[in-house]
Structure formats: C-alpha cells, structure tokens
Amino acid sequence: MPFDSLTLTRPDDFHLHLRDGAALAAVLPHSARQFARAIVMPNLRPPVATVGQAAAYRQRVLDARPREGAGSDFEPLMTLYLTDRTSADEVRRAKAQGIVGFKLYPAGATTHSDAGVTDLKHVQAALDAMQREGVALLVHGEVVDPEVDVFDREAVFIERHLLALRRDFPALKMVLEHITTREGVQYVAEAGPLTAATITPQHLLYNRNAIFSGGLQPHWYCLPVLKSEEHRRALVAAATSGKPCYFLGTDSAPHAAALKEHAGGHAGCYTAFSALELYAEVFEAAGALERLEAFASFHGADFHGLPRNRGTLTLRREPWTLPERLPFGDAELKPLRAGETLAWRLAD
Ligand code: DOR
Ligand code: ZN
C-alpha cells in the first residue's frame, strides 16, 4: 500500500540562492513556505564578503518574509564569500556573528564567481582560522582548468584540491556542495565525520540527456552540469542511503527566463517552488520515502550543529501542475518542470 501522505519534521535547505531586491522579494516566499531555514549563498554582486554586508543582507531577507502565517518565521543562515583577501580576523568576526560558513568559489567556476579564490595558497590563513573557530567551508568543487572536460571538473577537483585540503586542515568542517558524480559520493562517504555533501533535486532526477532532449533545454542547465545516468544513480543511492553525510541543498538559483533562453544562457535551475515535491518523487521511485525526513530535516542540522526544527509539514499524493511562469520583479521566472504535473503536493 503506497503512502498517500507523508508528514515530516520541518526541513531545511542547506544551499539556496535568494538574490536581492525585487528578485529576492519574488522568490523568498517560495522557500519560506517549504523550509524552516536555509543557508543563503553569498554570490551577489558585489559579493557578501564581510560580516557587515552579511548583516545587512540578512535584514533584507528578513524584510522579504511574509508578514504572517506560513513562512513568516523563516530563518536565513548566512554565509560569507571567501576571497583571496579574506583575513583571519574576518573569520573570527564571522564566528562571533553566527555566520555558518564561507563559500569557496574557484574564480571563474560559475555565476558571479569572478571574485572567488584564484589559488588556495591565498586562503591558508583564513582556512586555518575557520578550522580553529569551527566555521564550515562550503565548497563549489570544480576545477576551472580549460583543458579539463566540463563533465570531469568535479572528479578532478577532488583529486587536485580536496584531498590536499583535507590533509592540510584535518579538523575543518567541509561541505562538498551539490555533488554530481560517483566520485563525489564516494569521496564524502570515506572522508570522515567532518565532511558532508548537499544534493540537489535536479541531479537526482535527471541525467545530462535532459539538457539536449527535443532541442537545447536551458532550464536544465546548471553548474555543476548534469552528469550521465551512472552518476545520477550513485547520487540517488547516496541520498536515499540514510547516511548522515548527505543532506538536502536545492541550489535553487533563479534567473530571469529571458536570460536563460538566449545565447550564453545563465546557469541555474529554479526548484524552490516545488523542491520537496521533487525530492519526494526521487525517494518514492527509490522505494525510500521513509528516509526522506532524515535527508531533508535531520542530517544537515546535525552536521552544522543546529537544533532540529520543531513542527511538521505534510506532503499529499495529489497531482498538480506547475505554473509555466512565475513573477520575478520586472521579469519572469520559469520553474524547473514548468507546466508538468507532479505527483506530490505540499499541504497548506
Ligand atoms: O547553476 C548554478 N547557478 N550554479 C552555481 O554554482 C551558481 C548558481 C547561481 O548563482 O546562479
Ligand atoms: Zn549554488
């Protein structure tokens, strides 16, 4: 007898892009309805690189919450953008102000990563301070070497950089964000209790064929790019394994539809509108719905040393159709799976 409804402790999104201004106002209610808390990525322009910038950004996020009802108690967990110039003092201030982590973007790896780290040798003092203070390093794990195939960038990053990082900073808490490969799954499984990974809904649901089926599909283009079926299966096995080192992080990354649907289209899938429903589909297909709660609501909080949420939310088996477009300031936003029918629906 399949489940017809599923009640979970309120979940968290451990990897989210909220943007700023009108875009923030448009997307925040979607995440706040689904998640009690979210780790907010700092890749604004200019980047959120200081404690002062993070405090101001946090206030703008709070101001975008619904005034009352569902989502009005949403809590943003702030991060800072690691740059070649991040000082040990900034790390100490970050710790004191409750910043949960620093995001490492190799310069040039993705959207708004030009202020990122050009060489890990420039951030040794900051990493040392993070290790001592117990501040997490959140890693976009892809090399930017143009000679490395785009589908191999994560596996090569692990070989070239992550092994050495772990060796040099054995007590540093690290999250390999949005893992996309069998190598990522395996590395995290074997790296010990201070290493974890987030996994997105799109990397669990789709392989790279989705980007090319029936013509070029820009809404399925994100970074790290979708990989082959073998890798997708390894991710599903990891997410549904019950192992505490894997947890939910949507990497929901809104871009105006017009900026995705043109040459040089932007990278990012917008999944915040229906994230839990998408994950539920994955867990159900794997026969592991009873493990969704730990993945969505326990493992990430435990890893980051946060209390588990109180309260619950309920998913019902109830087909519904995702809107074609959502308002996005002056523009429009196309959710992943726009116009398609989903099997699960979050109850109000
Ligand atoms: O697809 C992506 N979009 N990957 C990232 O790493 C950044 C994100 C964004 O901010 O748009
Ligand atoms: Zn991201």
What spacing in Å lies between the alpha carbon of 97 and ligand 2's midpoint? 23
Q: Helix (H, G, I), strand (E, B), or coil: what is residue 131? A: helix
Mean pLDDT to the nearest integer, 302-315: 98
**Ligand 1 contact via 222 beta carbon (within 6 Å):** yes
Residues with Cβ < 8 Å from 80, sequence gap 6 or more? Answer: 42, 48, 49, 50, 51, 54, 86, 90, 94, 99, 101, 102, 103
Mean pLDDT to the nearest integer, 288-317: 98
pLDDT in tens, 110-141: 878 889 999 999 999 999 999 999 999 999 99
What spacing in Å lies between the alpha carbon of 318 and ligand 1's midpoint? 31
Q: Which domain holds residue 92?
A: 5-346
- Residue nearest ligand 1's atom 3 by CA: 268
Residue type, 77: L
With pLDDT > 70 as the criterion, what percentage of the chain qualifies?
99
Nearest-angstrom CA–CA distance, 162 and 252: 24
Q: Is 311 left (phi over 0), alpha (psi -120 to 50) or beta?
A: left
**Position 315 pLDDT exceeds 60:** yes
Active site members = 251
**Ligand 1 contact via 17 beta carbon (within 6 Å):** yes
Give the position, in ligand 1's atom list, of the atom nearest the Cα of 43.
Answer: 10
**Ligand 1 contact via 225 beta carbon (within 6 Å):** no
Long-range contacts of 112-119 (CB under 8 A, 24+ apart): 112/43, 112/44, 112/45, 112/47, 113/43, 113/140, 115/46, 115/47, 115/49, 115/81, 115/83, 116/81, 116/82, 116/83, 116/140, 117/82, 117/83, 117/84, 118/84, 119/84
What spacing in Å lies between the alpha carbon of 222 and ligand 1's midpoint? 6
What spacing in Å lies between the alpha carbon of 30 and ligand 2's midpoint? 17
Q: Helix (H, G, I), strand (E, B), or coil: what is residue 210? A: helix
**pLDDT bucket at 295, cuts 50 / 70 / 90:** very high
**pLDDT bucket at 2, cuts 50 / 70 / 90:** low
Q: How many domains does the chain have?
A: 1
pLDDT in tens, 142-196: 999 999 999 999 999 999 999 999 999 999 999 999 999 999 999 999 999 999 9
Q: What is the pTM of this model?
A: 0.98
**Position 224 pLDDT exceeds 70:** yes
Task: Record the tokens describing residue 340, joined without a space.
Answer: 């398609």
Expressed in percent and rounded to 5, the helix, strand and coil fractions of the chain are 40, 20, 45
> How far lies 237's CA from each of 103, 154, 231, 268, in Å?
26, 18, 10, 24
98-120 burial code (b ≥16 CB/10 A, e <16): ebbbbbbbbeebbbbbebbbeeb
CA 297 to chain centre: 14
Q: Domain with 47 in it: what CATH number?
A: 3.20.20.140
- Residue nearest ligand 1's atom 7 by CA: 111
Mean pLDDT to the nearest integer, 36-64: 98
Please tell me the predicted confidence (pLDDT) of residue 348. 83
**Position 19 pLDDT exceeds 60:** yes
**Ligand 1 contact via 223 beta carbon (within 6 Å):** yes
Give the position, in ligand 1's atom list, of the atom nearest the Cα of 268.
Answer: 1
